[in-house]
A = this chain, B = another copy of it.
């Protein structure tokens, strides 16, 4: 008999960083200025992975940089050297963006961190059960017993092209309430609500 309690559902988060140049040419002393509000994305990494005394193993995270395009994929089960603060994660992201890419495949820049030239559409079309977090979306579902992918933007809205991709892929518009929140806070809330509702976790 299939035992639902033993099933671990994966939680993917895709965050689009519209302001960050994808060449890694920035200083860690100006993450919210010269790095094009990279600080917003770094807080998302921290919220997605960190528990008080450990790392959530059921999480995949994708930082998408449309200016490249490039996508950095974080894989919890392989990760080393990732800490919750902005500066150290900023250094890992910079290393990934500085990695020379000579083809369409992924390259690993440090354990659990992989970089490619994938676009937003390339990234999200491979991921399951897309949920697009918006203030005026459907109410949060009472149960999410499947692998799921949350798609968020940085401090800018999605572009019309990105919205068209989400419509084409039938992303479900879901709301965390009427208050407009930072993306990293949305990730914290998504984890909290899934922790309470997923029988498999």
Contact = CB atoms under 8 A, between A and B. Distances in A.
Interface of A: 28-29, 31-32, 39-40, 43, 46-47, 50-53, 83-88, 155, 176-177, 179-182, 185, 188-189, 192, 195-196
Contact of A43 (B84, B88, B155): B84
B179 A51 contact: yes
A192 B175 CA distance: 13
A50 B85 contact: no
Given A177-B196, A180-B53, A85 B185 contact: no
Interface-centre pick from A29, A155, A192 (highest chain B CB count, 10 A): A192
A182 B32 CA distance: 23
Q: How many copies does the complex hold?
A: 2
A22 to B, nearest CB: 20
Contacts of A50: 182
Nearest to A56: B179
29 contacts: A29-B29, A31-B85, A31-B87, A32-B83, A32-B85, A32-B88, A39-B84, A39-B86, A43-B43, A43-B46, A43-B84, A50-B182, A51-B179, A51-B180, A51-B181, A51-B182, A52-B155, A52-B180, A52-B182, A84-B182, A86-B86, A86-B87, A87-B87, A177-B192, A177-B195, A188-B188, A188-B189, A189-B189, A189-B192
A106 B50 CA distance: 35
A125 B30 CA distance: 39
Nearest to A192: B189
